[in-house]
Amino acid sequence: MLKKILVLQLCNRFCFAKFYQFSKLNHFFEQFEMDKFDSNSQFTATTGNIKFSKILESLDKGKQSLFNSTLNDYLKTQTINFEQLLTLLVALHQTNIFCNKSNKEILLKHINSNLNTINIGVLQMISHSLSLGIADQQTLNLYIQHFLKCDLKRFNHIQQFDMIFIISQAVLKFQVNLYNPEFANQWKLLLQLLLPHLETKKDWLVKKFPHLAFIVKGASKDDAQSFFIEDLINLFKAMTNKFNQQADLIYKLDSKDITILLSSVIKIRDKYLTQELNILIDNLIKYLMRYDFSKFNDSSLQSIALSLTHLPTYQSQFQELLIDQIDQRKQKGKFNTKQHLSIIFELIIKWRNKVSNQKLVNVIQSLSVIEQSDYDLAHYFQILTTLPLEQIIGLLKQIEFDLIQRNEKIALDQNYRKDSISVERMQKSLLKIEGYVKQQNAPSFNMQLIQKIQNLLK
């Protein structure tokens, strides 16, 4: 009985979470944004197992290798029960740690073996396993078998929406064939049960609308199961109209919801509901202009920059805001080089309006190149090409020793694989800088410095 209570408590606190990776614009969702729960309170299950608790402790330490080795040792010697499995999946959602391939395979067997009915716990298990990239086509096939037989009226509107999320994955990610009358009847009933809550559950609507948008952007009317896609789009349209009609709903979105919704509707409007979504985007932008940007974490700031690349009309209103935020975080010592570099790249290379040189130099002076991937370093050198030559040379002098250290570190890293395309991008940027030196008849030692950097990047 105690186990049942714990599982029910766990499942009622959490809603479905992350989606799978689509593109550069969505990449950060995979690791962060879709970790969205119905409650701000945290849950720690009492497992009564010291060995299992060590797995959770390794997650808290944030070390992926430690977690995977601890989990692997446990899975090879112990039997993981349903409560522990669910606890582990939920805990994984609260970190940026991922299971390695062998652990995923073992967990998948336990997930599929526990999928012998549909209840609240099973819904959460499948949702989490999908978003963590553990579930497979067999998982979805097993779920659909039980979905066809279950009494949908037993579940509340939150759980019914979780079902929509799971079924969407079955169709959009795993191409499970659902084109049969039995499924169509259950699917229609599920929508009939859910739709009335659009009128009465405003808080629920605010929470779920961004998630539905994230699902719909992966849909295509060309899909073989167009009846399902059409219903999904109609549900999204109904929610969109509610948001456009009741402007106060937008002001209930938190920082995560805003970034999920904005990036999703930008993609959707090219395929569906262009007029409705342009209104929604304009309202979201107005809300963003009033929002305290210090409340956005680095991933959310990156998402805003990537989204606004597709909205040139609004870029001038946000350029200073984003640069100022990066500068403030640099001064506080809270500097995420990878994400801030991505933001600067969007603002400088892809946006229409130009940032003042001095502001740009102030920001990128603090960027460390030692830990950067070839891909990110290619961004860095392309950004340098937008600066006056004097400032470029100053920054190249500053990073020369860092690049030497980076090469020493790479030489010891057995997992390093050179990204040839990115290295070529770096060399092209340096050739462009060489051209500046020749045009301005700069001293020869500048050319020597550039050649040193070129050799360090080969």
- CA atoms 319, 320, 321, 327: torsion sign: positive
Answer whether 30's CB lies under 8 Å from 21's CB: yes
Looking at residue 190, its pLDDT comes to 93
**Distance, CA of 241 to chain centre:** 26
- What lies within 8 Å, CB to CB, of 205 at 6+ separation is 197, 198, 239, 242, 249
Q: Which two tokens stand for residue 242?
A: 């509610």
Burial of 180: CB neighbours in 10 Å, binned 0-12, 13-18, 19+: exposed
**Phi, then psi, of 418 in degrees rounded to 5:** -65, 130
| pLDDT for the residue 110 | 94
Distance CA 345, CA 365 (A): 14
- What is d(CA 166, CA 262) in angstroms, rounded to the nearest whole number? 22
pLDDT tens-place values along the chain, 458 residues long? 334 434 444 444 333 333 333 333 343 343 333 333 333 333 344 444 788 888 888 888 777 888 889 999 999 888 899 999 999 998 887 776 888 899 999 999 999 999 988 899 999 999 889 888 899 999 999 999 999 989 999 999 889 988 998 998 888 888 887 878 898 899 999 999 988 888 888 888 888 899 889 888 888 766 556 778 888 899 999 999 999 998 888 999 988 889 999 999 999 998 899 999 999 999 999 999 999 998 888 888 999 999 999 999 999 899 889 988 998 888 887 777 888 899 999 998 999 877 777 877 888 887 888 888 999 999 999 999 999 999 999 999 999 999 999 999 999 888 888 999 999 999 999 999 999 999 998 888 889 999 999 999 98
Rounded Cα gap, residues 249 and 33, in angstroms: 20
Does residue 204 contact residue 197 with C-beta atoms inside 8 Å? yes
Question: What pLDDT score does 36 carry?
Answer: 34
Q: What local confidence, expressed as pLDDT, does residue 361 receive?
A: 82
Quote the CA–CA distance of 32 and 18 in Å, as a whole number.
8
Burial of 187 (0-12, 13-18, 19+ CB in 10 A): buried
How far apart, in whole angstroms, are the C-alpha atoms of residue 289 and residue 301? 13
Half-sphere exposure at residue 94, Cβ-oriented, CA atoms within 13 angstroms: 19
**Helices 137-147 & 120-131 angle (0-180, nearest 10):** 150
**CA 376, 377, 378, 383 torsion-angle sign:** positive
Tokens of 85: 């499995």
Q: Where are the domains of the chain?
A: 1-150, 368-458
**C-alpha to C-alpha distance for 30 and 21, rounded to whole angstroms:** 6
Q: Which residues are CB-neighbours of 191 under 8 A, at least 6 positions away?
A: 231, 235
- The reported pLDDT for the residue numbered 33 is 37
- Rounded Cα gap, residues 331 and 333, in angstroms: 5
